[in-house]
Homo-oligomer: A and B are copies of this chain.
Amino acid sequence: MSSDTPRPGEIALPFDPGKQPPDAGLVFIGRIRTPWTDRHACPRNGRDSQDICRIEIDPPYAQGLQSIETCSHLFVLYWMHEARRDLIVQSPAFDSRSHGCFALRTPIRPNPVSLSVVDLLEVAGTTLRVRGLDCLDGTPLIDIKPYFARSDAIADATVGWHGQRTHPGRRSTAI
């Protein structure tokens, strides 16, 4: 995908962060199983989807799940392995203006780590059944964390540019 030409208003870095010598290394600790095998089929926002997905933890990390069954919601961090990493300013389809990648939830960013809040429905061995994901089937898992309402829930948070977007109904993979 890195050979794609940026759209008008978009800016690519003069280098590909994915081809730089890494500053730190991630290990994949499992995989995410979803109904979506094509990125255009993925929900624009996992919170809008009722589909149930599975998080499969690799056996060596199974003990790390202890007590997770007591959590109602989790943060899930995953690696967007198909995303390019060099598009620093992007033009989502639902807005006529461009925005920096750090003001967007697009998977396209220097470190393509995505973050979702999920409802935890069931823990069965090393498999978690959850609702709220939006990624491709087979996406590599990086981390799971408990969601604490006291520190993580900010009901009055606002994203100014998003409230003023010009085509709010239009679909885009680059939220």
Where the two chains meet, the residues of A that have a C-beta atom closer than 8 Å to any C-beta of B are 11, 13-15, 17-18, 20-29, 45-47, 57, 60-61, 63-68, 70-73, 75, 77, 79, 81, 88-89, 97-105, 109-111, 113, 115, 117, 140, 142-162
Whether the pair A159, B146 counts as a contact (CB closer than 8 A) is: yes
Shortest Cβ distance from A48 into B: residue: B151
Evaluate contact between B147 and A159: CB separation under 8 angstroms: yes
A-B contact pairs, 20 of them (CB 8 A): A20-B27, A22-B27, A26-B26, A27-B110, A27-B111, A63-B88, A63-B100, A64-B101, A64-B103, A71-B103, A72-B154, A73-B157, A102-B144, A104-B146, A105-B148, A111-B143, A148-B159, A152-B157, A153-B155, A153-B157
- In the complex formed, the residue of B with least CB distance to A120 is B157
Contact: B145 with A111, CB < 8 Å? no
CB distance from A97 to the nearest CB of B (A): 8
Assess A159 versus B70: contact at CB under 8 Å? Given A24-B81, A27-B111, A154-B149: yes
**Which residue of chain B is the closest to A17 with respect to CB atoms?**
B27
Q: How far is the CA of A103 from the CA of B61 in the complex (A)?
A: 12
Nearest B residue (CB) for A24: B26
Closest A-B pairs by Cβ, 5 of them? A22-B25, A70-B160, A66-B100, A67-B103, A47-B151
